[in-house]
Each structure stands twice: as C-alpha cells, then as structure tokens.
Chains A and B, each alone.
Chain A
C-alpha cells in the first residue's frame, strides 16, 4: 500500500524540549534502587508463608486432621501451595523485559480460581469429627471467606508495593495473580484449620476465596501500582 509506505518513510518528528516539570524533576535527580524481581519474589513468598503460618498457629488446627486420608491432606495441601506460588511467579518478567508476565498471570489466576472450586466440589473426604454445613447453613461459612481474604492481604500488599510503576498495561491481570496467589495461601490455611468437609463449603467457600481475592485485587491494586 503505497500511501502507507510513504507514511512509514516520513522522518521522525522533532520532539519539543523537556517540560518545566521534567526539568524540575531532573534538577533534584537522585540514584534509585531499581527493581530486583527474583529477590522481591523470594521476599514475597517467604513473608507470606510466615504470615500464613502465624495465622494457622493463632487459629486451631482442624480437629479431624488425623481422621482424613494423608494422601488427600498432603496432595491437596501441595496443590494449594502451588496455587500460591505459581501465579505470583508472574511478577517476574521475562528476561530482558521490565513488565511482569501479565498473560501468564491471567491464565494462572483463572485456572486457580476455577480449579480450586472444582477440586473442592469433587474431592472432600470427611471423618467422624468433621462438620457439615450443607445448603441450609451455607451462609455460616462466611468466616472462612474472611479468614482466607485476611491471609491474602500480605502477598497482595507486598506485590502491589513491589510492582509500583511496572504495570503500564496488564495491571488488572497481574493484580489478579497476586489475589489468586494470596487466596490460595488462604485456602491452604483453611485446609489446615477448617473441619467443615461438605463439598459446597470446601468448593464454593474455600475455593471461592481464590476467585474473590483475585477479583478484589484486580479492582483495587492497579490504582496502587499506577504512577501518575
């Protein structure tokens, strides 16, 4: 297309000089510590796990722990842990890039949110000491949702601090990954604490924490990471 070719061959325009605001900023220019994604990721994971462990220690360990299949306990626990770690890996950019991998963040957030709901609905063994809420008392499970969201606070807040200014695009997906990761940490905590074993509660409340935390983070975090 000749017209487009001609347009492409135009010499680049001459930009204006720096604005007074930029000149003022440059006058007081100081060195800054730049972002170190791997170090920040390690710090985020370590601090979140310590916080999560602290919450579990403050609350009681589930009373039916010894009655449940060890394979399920360990296997699902590992899945919750992976649900925390994998989405937050998205905060580390590809080599040579500045922005986090928001597409990876989006994919892992959706998989975690839907996967844990499905897993809880399908797989929820119980023991003699387990509790059942069912549909009738489904609303009484809101405490688990609140606990799970409380567990998500630290990874989401730390992630938001670390990613400030790094997310000109894809900020909602990256924030959702932080929320999904934090929600999964909350799910892990609930997995060790809550003795309710009916599928509705485990699936929709414990699993739902991931989706709710992801949505809340996607709504709130971009405002915190945006630089104006």
Chain B
C-alpha cells in the first residue's frame, strides 16, 4: 500500500491535503468494516470520525516507511471495542418487524450515484447481515476481516490483537455458525425457480 504510506508521510510532514487524500482512500473500507461490526450507520460514522481523530493525535507514533493501514484498522478495532464496552451494546439487534428503513439503507452504504451499479441479491445480503449480527463480536470481526474485507489471517490477527491461530479458529467457527444460520434462513425464490413454479402450476 505504497500510496497510503506516502500520504501518511506527507501528512506527518504537515500536509493537510495528504490527510484528506488518506481519508478518501481509507475511510470507505474502514466504514464498511465498522458498519458490519455495528450495523448502525450513525454509530459507524461516529466511530470512523473518532478513529481518524485518534490517528491524528497519535500520528507521531507512525514509523516512516511502514504500512499505516493495519495500524489504522487496529485503532478502529480498539475504538469499536471501547464503544461496545461503554454502552454494552455494540450490536443493535433489530427484529424484522422493527426494522428501520434508514438503517437498511445505511448498511449497503451506497451513495445515490452508485445505486445503479451491479450488486448482489438484496435478500441474500440482508440475510447475511442478519446472520452476521447474531455471531459473537470476535467471530463477527474475524469473518468481516478475513472473508469480507479480504485481509489475510495474519493481518486480521494483527488488527484484532490476537494470535494467528486464535484468528483462524474464530474465523472458522464464525464461518461455520454463519453457514448454519444461513442454512436455516428461508431462501428467497430465484427467477428460475419462480418460472419453474409458474410453469408447473400451469
């Protein structure tokens, strides 16, 4: 991540523009991670701002030439954990009946100009998010980092402050739990299945 390195170095040299570029580069991914952890757009936005404020205040701890991303992710992880401990409710479990439309909109995180882009099946995505929210925080984080954010197990372990072995176990257990949760969820009918059903009825 040469670009992030260079931006971080320029930012430490006092270039505010470099900070804005770094924010533009890192914040979307970090917000995606925080959204999947909190399932609450407003809280994730707040944690994102807190994370960057901490990065700003701790910028003297940066080591020139180092990749700042794992460190920034670890600060986000710490911020999330602190918030979870503070409120004892990092995850807001909203039942289907109580689902708030603005939360659902925030979860996809799409801006208005991206709504036409090709994306996954909304029903499947919603089921995955619901299942993810049912996992214990450590397993959820392991799945989010390794399966959804594409981090290696070693990177995820560094971010979460655990060993590679423990991260592997958490990811495996989380993935297995998700498989069970998604297996029991009613599958949305696909177009093919709907056509077949319609054909069979006629």
Contacts and interface: CB of A to CB of B under 8 A. Distances in A.
Nearest to A7: B128
A15 B179 contact: no
Nearest to A26: B16
Contact of B78 (A10, A11, A13, A169): A169
Given A25-B53, A26-B16, A96-B65, A9 B120 contact: yes
B57 to A, nearest CB: 5
Interface in B13-32: 13-16, 19-20, 23, 27-32
Interface in A1-16: 1-16
Contacts of B175: 1
A103 B161 CA distance: 9
Contacts, number: 184
Given A29-B19, A98-B70, A168-B74, A15 B31 contact: yes
Per DSSP, chain A at the interface is loop
Interface in A32-85: 32-37
Interface residues of B, number: 71
Contacts of A32: 12, 14, 59-60
A169 B160 contact: yes
Given A14-B110, A97-B67, A163 B61 contact: yes
A1 B65 contact: no
Contacts of A96: 65-67
